[in-house]
Chain A
Amino acid sequence: METEKLFTIAEALLKPWAKEYKRPDENRLDVYLVREDLLEAVEGLAQARWGYLSAISGVDLVPPAQDGTGENQEGRLEVLYHFCNSAAVLSLRIEIPYSDAHVPSVCGIIPSATIYERELMELFGITVVDTPVPDHLVLPDDWPDGVFPLRKSFTGFDSPQAQES
């Protein structure tokens, strides 16, 4: 099958950096990476012309439990780089902690990623290092610093997150 063939190629391409492969369903392949390897992995995909960057999704992974045991556990953010090639969707996934929320910019390899990276920056508070245009994309110019609407802790302007800043 075509999709299988594409995934075999992708797996071979990403072999040096992949920490884990997962196949959530027949059209998808999830590859878990660490942040430091992201650029090389994206470069590898781009050079082999494996599909195109379809979207970058951010997800706020709140600490698992608030019953006292998980309190000292820090929340994490997950960034997914979705590459589409025909029916196949490849997601490069990296997880980063709140306290060290930055990812490298892939704009040097894929220029059209700028819009998604700006979204990540203003909505999740993930610093994208070396992104060409760090301005606001969708939020107003006078939006307060340090308020990231798509983090789970943001529930409006009376929420603790907004109060803090």
Chain B
Amino acid sequence: MQEKVEKFIVPIGPQHPALKEPGHFEFSVDGEEVTGATIRLGFVHRGIEKMTESRTWIQNLYMLERVCGICSHVHGIAYTLGVEKLAGVTVPPRAQAIRTIVLELERIQSHMLWLGVAAHEGGFDTLFMYSWRDRETVMDLFELISGNRVQHSVNLVGGVKYDITAEQKQKILDGVSYLEGRLQYYEKIITTDDTFLGRTRNVGKMTKEEATLLGAVGPTARASGVERDVRVESPYASYPDHPVNIVLDEGGDLTSRFIVRIRELFESIRVIREILTNLPESELTVRVPRRIPAGEVISRVEAPRGELFYYIKSAGGENPYRIKIRTPSLCNWGTVSSVAIGHKLADMPMLLVGIDPCFSCNDRLVTVRQETGSQTMYWEDLRKYGVEYYQ
């Protein structure tokens, strides 16, 4: 007799309470145990790479900052560093320092956001509420520096917009000191609370070998003991003068990912303090020509989620010829589908957020809108449509 094994598939997404952004996963389950996983992306596909080719170098900065809402500054940094290298200009040291401070503040913000989301997925809403409450401290610091909480837009092509005054410096130092205390407390919770450890220990275990093979980056790789951190390997901005110590953990499971992310923040706080106390005096901007000389450049920076890779090619005009963006989440996807198998369904949301996925980061190429199945609209048309709609 031929036995027909029927797969019971639990879809997660594109709309699902566990996912704050659209992505689609299908988990085949046997009882509570997951036997397979597939991924489909593209639900928030916006066509940014194509759009860069029709915009000026300056306009592109603001669009690329919007690739991701959580790590907008790091996209700006990757882009401006690349463009400045192509143009052959060096940004003044004070601007570099301010960029680095905002980078590290952004890392704190991003990891605390992630801590809250991960706790929520684990059904620990109290930790979620508290970590987001404390994250407000960083958001207030962004407000202090740039006026905006999320899209700080501190960068200019060729420098930064905002200076940090002595008074602000003190406020930032106070803010990070408060956060340091809170983070120590959260570290204690995630490493000692038994109900929480029950959900994270030995979940999603990935060995160093697997992490290397699957091409994991950022905290996901570092939690498996892979030494990958662009800030250390190829320092940019102020990192050559204020080196970062790499934070590693050998566990490879979710607990390790929690630990690595939180410990990384202590390192961030240390770097912020170090730079703030040695803030160099200089101009904030340098002139960058409107036409960038022909050439190509590769710009790598360490985003909160891992290595962010930009390939920028200029043909000498006012617009870039080609910009390729490879975001860290894209590298880490591969790890989920292979690690998921054999785990409980209840662990899936935790496993997904374990890599801190950013859907907008993955989906960035061409925007299309379906109009009753027949007409496909391109971005310009869509925009016209939108403008007309509201007139």
Contact = CB atoms under 8 A, between A and B. Distances in A.
Interface in B199-216: 212-215
Given A136-B42, A150-B50, A54 B309 contact: yes
Interface string A20-63: 00001101100000000000000000000000111101111000
A163 B326 CA distance: 30
B45 A139 contact: yes
Q: Is chain B's interface secondary structure helix, strand, loop, or mixed overall?
A: mixed
A84 interface: yes
Contact of B366 (A25, A28, A59, A149): A149
Interface stretch (B59-67, B248-256, B374-382): B374-382
B300 interface: yes
A107 to B, nearest CB: 11
Nearest to A115: B330
A150 B345 CA distance: 38
A123 B331 CA distance: 19
Interface in B207-235: 212-215, 233-234
A156 B378 contact: yes
Interface of A: 24-25, 27-28, 52-55, 57-60, 80, 82, 84, 86-87, 89, 91, 110-112, 114-116, 119, 123, 136-140, 142-144, 149-150, 152, 154, 156-157
30 contacts: A24-B295, A27-B234, A27-B298, A52-B215, A54-B309, A55-B309, A55-B311, A59-B322, A82-B298, A86-B233, A86-B234, A87-B234, A110-B215, A111-B213, A112-B213, A112-B214, A112-B334, A115-B333, A123-B49, A136-B42, A137-B42, A138-B41, A138-B366, A139-B42, A142-B373, A143-B368, A143-B376, A149-B50, A149-B366, A154-B50
Interface of B: 41-42, 45, 47, 49-50, 53, 85, 212-215, 233-234, 295-298, 300, 307, 309, 311, 313, 321-322, 324, 326, 330-331, 333-334, 362-363, 365-366, 368, 370, 373, 376-381
